[in-house]
A and B are shown apart, each in its own frame.
Chain A
Amino acid sequence: MQTKDHKVLVANRGEIAIRIVQACRKLGLAFTCVYTAEDAASGHVRIARELGGDKSLYRVSSYHDANELMAVADDAGATAVHPGYGFFAEDYRFARRVSQRDRKLIFIGPSWRVIRELGDKINTKRLARSLGVPTVPGSDRPIYDEMEAEKVAQSLFEFQEQQGIRKPLVLVKASAGGGGMGIEEVYDIDLFRSVYRRIRNYALRQFKDEGVLIEQRIRDFNHLEVQVVSDRSGRNPVHFGTRNCSIQSTGLQKRIEIAPGFDPSSIEYGFDAAQVLRDITQHSLAMARKVGYDNVGTWEWIVTRDGRPFLMEVNTRIQVENGVSATIARVRGQKGVDIIAEQIRIGLGEPLGYGQEDITFEGVGIEYRLIAEDPDNRFTPWVGRVDGFGWPERPWLAMHTHVPSDDPYDIPTEFDPNLALAIIWGKDLAEARERGVEFLDTLVLEGANNAGEPLRSNVRFLRDNTGRILKF
């Protein structure tokens, strides 16, 4: 089957759905979108109506119901499914169902075995260690025995003291958990037992597994990522550079992402930043090769103040911030890299067609996440209507949004109140920062809620933080 004959079901909403549709059009592929009753005003619905062909838009009961997606795919004649991010993106069962059902579809993402393997915290950590990839000090298997747990915690405290860490912390987490649930910090070994028991009981209740992981809690770090791309052969993964995502909300949600991850050319670091970036990309690719990684993915790292990187986890999906890597990347010197389009193309089975040596980087990219929220009040989401939304077009600016700029838009309460992603490019860090501030200053974003209170957004927060980007 030719790539062009495929039809892609866009199993997502909002901004990412729009970008997938755009990528499909770039590749000349047909597509089908879905939406729910709450989400009827979303931009992706509009774009599907405008640009879609026959059977290109369906109302479904829920984005979370895989059966809806399968049923729509069959009725629309879709041959592939793009999960976007969130929802089913890292659900290996969904990927497995898609590829094993009677009417098979292509899952545009890594194969389900890879998702399962890297979706498991312990598995990933053990894989990393088996390849000599640095991971956070601590256990790499679930611990069931209280004595053993205490011993690990004890040596973690000692280890940190030897490292000269003044207030060592140990993290106890349910090995079967995820998403920040069932995690607690311990600052004193005497308190360890009670915390351990609490977490163990929580894990037993919640996940039916008593196992806990005990790790060093690293506090002072930068959050870095490596963008990996690999075709279905799984043999030749390449990277599209690094990103720095250290500027986050209090709830540890990313707000500003910058590519590349450090800028040793303009900023002094207390360690060899270039070497760290080289190390984490090489480690990431080594792991990708080992598991036969066969689509796009992100290796997440933390880098301590003394320049030690530790692998955190692997995100087996396209990420929100993929565009910021694309904006500084050049393939054979060409601009206009689109990682989502590449994902679809290789996902459908085409070979990547170029190697690491063909990929170069130029300048600095900044991505702002524009969100209706109140940064002064623990980033509480704001709900209401957006009346005015506009910005001057710039050659160095790319806006990704599902919010219409010519119509008022009610923010649905079902989802996070993300409004847009703004990606800014500058030839160096200084220029990128300057342009970022310029963009934020000229942005129009107005609205009001039922009570008549004006829209709250994180624009000020983004502007205030632009000054400190890439500094460590």
Chain B
Amino acid sequence: MDTEKRTQHLAERLGYIRDVFGGKHNENIALLESKLQEFNLRLSEGSISDENAALTTLEDLFDFVERKLEAELTPMDKVRIVRHPQRICLRDILENVYDNYTEIGGKDEHSIDPSMLIARAYITRRSGKKTINQPVLVIGQEKGHGEEFRNGGSVKPWGNAKALQYMKVAETEGIPIHTYVFTPGSYPVEDYPGAAQQIARNLYEMAGLRVPVIAVFSEGGSGGAEAIGLSDRRLMLSHGYYSVISPEGAAAIEGRLRHGQRAAPELIEKCAQQLRITAEDNLRMGYIDHVVTEPPLGARPYHYDFFRGLRQEIIRATDEVILGVKGFAPFRAMVLRRRRGKAETMDLDNMYVRWSLSSSAKDRLVSRRHRKFNRLARNAARDRRPVLRKLSNMGWDAWWDIYSYFKYDLLRKHQQKIAYLVEEVEAEAQVLMEKVAAPWRKITCALPGGACQSSEQTERELTTLSDWDEEGQRNGNWSYVSPRAKEDRAITCPNADSHGCLDLWAPDLFGEFAGVCTYCGHHFPMEYQWYLHNVFDEGSIFEFNAEIEAGNPLGFEGFDVKLEQAKKQTGLKSGCVTFEARIDNVKLVVAMLVAPFRGGSVGAAEGEKFVQAAERAKKKRYPFLAYVHGTAGIRIQEGTNGVIQMPRCTMAVRRYIEAGGLYLVLYDTNSYAGPLASFLGCSPYQFSIRSANIGFAGPGVIKETTGVDIPPDYHRAYRALSRGHIQGIWDRRDARMNLKQALLTMGGRNLYYR
């Protein structure tokens, strides 16, 4: 390498260090700078005798300082590393880790979404003398070293849709999928297929993919990461981050900033620290299986050793997954196990594992994946149930399994056959009787006092009081009345200017009208209690798992107090209430996200309760309703403990749906972000009360990330319906009736009342 190139390279390294530390460690940087300057000066003077040696010394100094600074890296520094244009990107990996690749559906900016890169690649291995090319599908976000059109790896909904499309292709072809997560987060636009809804679809499908999926995280920005991150093995680069939200975003929320305001660097640094976003943190918490070590201060395109290492890791991970579900491979599995953790001398290129699976192995693969995610984050919630109760619950669960099998599978089939037979016979008999009796009936009718209805009886029926069970005729008499209905005051409808609505009297509006403007139909948000009392049968609600409490698994500063406040104010232990109830005597399981409890945000406890509710519904063959009174997203103070609930709950939902249940989602007020982009958005039956706003990110966030102004009604339920995100909009007063209808007409084959 010539001197000029090498000094140029050093200058780049220096700039990189300066950028990464954002104004810290100035003395080290100054040292390097002055040494480099000095060298350049002497070079131009021609006073260096041995350029090569001097340069090597200088390079050693750089190496030394980089190693020294490596130990000082803070989480926020790592965030800056990951965001740096010099950071390796997916194209570098394709070039250096795989033996051959063909990009699919894109060449630079000519792509449906240049932020999402898809490639068919292969890895060449040897088995004895044979050379074998093992094809894989590589999917990942491409940041392109800061290329404008890559949008920083922020993928648009159609980019994620493309990713899903090719995952299905890989599944059809039976080849493993390697995903590389390089995203600060998804691009928050609602245009079809919709940021949230598409991620949800991805998660739902990935939960059932019948090929091995290996994910490598470099920049794991929340929902955008999950869109391709649900996998059998999750590796993480040592200098990457995996977080629920950007540290800046967290700081804005913590500092209660209005949009446009900037958070102080100290606060951002502190949030980065508190969110536990680094590879070690995530490994410790279990959300990452293995960390891939990077060179000091992070991998850059010239770190060829790193790529070699990564290649080994990715092969190993794929092999492990395959061998883990394959029937017979004791020696190779042993090799893999033994080499784990040893010096990096192995060469898996020389060991061959066929990357295809039998049908039963695929079953095992998927069920392992489900078990893997189901185990995650269990300790992040506080389970206050006594040990005895937990044990008895487990016993009870087992009993339900057996009971359900006998009641619904075994008995039902035979019963149905008999019932059909009886129906047929009856119908035949009816026709026969009709024919025989018809002439006889005519005669008797003609006679006075004959068998047919007398005119007096007709008259009596038409003119006297009939029997009428008035139950169910509410006529505005709701069982629960909002406290706002107790104030003597008038309320102005927000549509008053455009629709001419007159002011409504609060007791009418929040009482009889159930929060609906009688002039324009605008739905004012109502308390979740309104639904509990007016949608489900009186007294039918039976709560379970109330003891599972929201906690503070990261020890996020100040959050304990806030959590206590929320618990005191709402009288709830978490933002998710799970219960059994009845609607017109049809029993169902309900998981309710409650807006007043920390904005209805979802953390480990909420996720766990949701999963258990889905399991319960599955066991009992009840319909499963997710009633979203409101949710602001994943609870950021729980970090990845919250994010992981996205795949976790989606998988639980998938298990439930595949068992033949009916999974209904009903949105009520503001429903945003993570939950929508996973276990809610994946339901084929999502309905909305007219009061709902539905979307991936709130208006402020959209403005900030995209710089685009959005119309005030961007997230209204009707817009969501037009975009194809939801399946219908209900008037609040009809929620019960519509749910009843849905329970009777929708869903799978395995509901107890079918």
Contact = CB atoms under 8 A, between A and B. Distances in A.
Interface stretch (B36-44, B103-111, B184-192, B499-507): B499-507
A130 B731 contact: no
B463 A134 contact: yes
A141 interface: yes
Indicate the size class of the contact surface on chain A: 20 to 34
B734 interface: yes
A137 B502 contact: no
Nearest to B475: A120
A67 B490 contact: yes
A267 to B, nearest CB: 29
B463 A135 contact: yes
Interface string A123-141: 0001001100011011111
B465 interface: yes
B458 interface: yes
Nearest to B473: A142
Of listed B462, B463, B475, residue having the most chain A CB within 10 A: B462
A379 B325 CA distance: 87
Interface stretch (A97-105, A299-307, A318-326, A409-417): A97-105
Nearest to B468: A141
B508 A93 contact: yes
B745 interface: no
B733 interface: yes
B455 interface: yes
Interface in A42-68: 62, 64-67
A64 B502 CA distance: 9
A155 B458 contact: yes
Interface stretch (A156-164, A257-265, A277-285, A355-363): A156-164
A62 B502 contact: yes
A162 B502 contact: no
Nearest to A64: B502
A208 interface: yes
Given A93-B508, A159-B455, A208-B733, A126 B462 contact: no
B459 A126 contact: no
B464 interface: yes
A62 B731 CA distance: 29
Given A129-B465, A139-B466, A141-B468, A158 B502 contact: no
A134 B465 CA distance: 10
A158 B505 contact: no
B685 to A, nearest CB: 21
A135 B466 CA distance: 13
A312 B459 CA distance: 18
A208 B734 contact: yes
A155 B502 contact: no
A130 B465 CA distance: 6
Contacts of A120: 475
B496 to A, nearest CB: 11
Contacts of A158: 455, 458
A155 B461 contact: yes
Interface in A77-102: 93, 97, 100-102
Contacts of A101: 488, 505
B512 interface: yes
A137 B508 CA distance: 35
Given A126-B468, A159-B462, A208 B731 contact: yes
Contacts of B465: 126, 129-130, 140
A159 B456 CA distance: 9
Contact of B488 (A93, A102, A130, A139): A102
B368 to A, nearest CB: 50
A386 B435 CA distance: 75
Contacts of A159: 455, 458-459, 462
A156 B463 CA distance: 10
B462 A137 contact: yes
A156 B502 CA distance: 43
Contact of A67 (B459, B503, B512): B503
B740 to A, nearest CB: 13
Nearest to A104: B488
Interface in A225-279: none
A100 B733 CA distance: 24
Contacts of B505: 66-67, 93, 97, 101
Interface string B599-637: 000000000000000000000000000000000000000
Of listed A62, A93, A120, A162, residue having the most chain B CB within 10 A: A93
Given A162-B455, A208-B731, A156 B462 contact: yes
Of listed B464, B503, B512, residue having the most chain A CB within 10 A: B464
A139 B507 CA distance: 34
Contact of A100 (B453, B475, B507): B507
B745 to A, nearest CB: 16
Of listed B490, B505, B731, residue having the most chain A CB within 10 A: B505
Interface string B503-522: 10101100010000000000
Contacts of B459: 137, 159
Q: List the 5 closest A-B pairs by CB distance, nearest first.
A: A129-B465, A137-B462, A141-B468, A102-B488, A101-B488
Given A137-B462, A141-B468, 4 more contacts: A62-B502, A67-B490, A102-B488, A158-B458
10 contacts: A62-B502, A66-B505, A134-B463, A137-B459, A137-B462, A141-B468, A152-B462, A155-B453, A208-B733, A216-B462
Interface of B: 453, 455, 458-459, 461-466, 468, 475, 488, 490, 502-503, 505, 507-508, 512, 731, 733-734
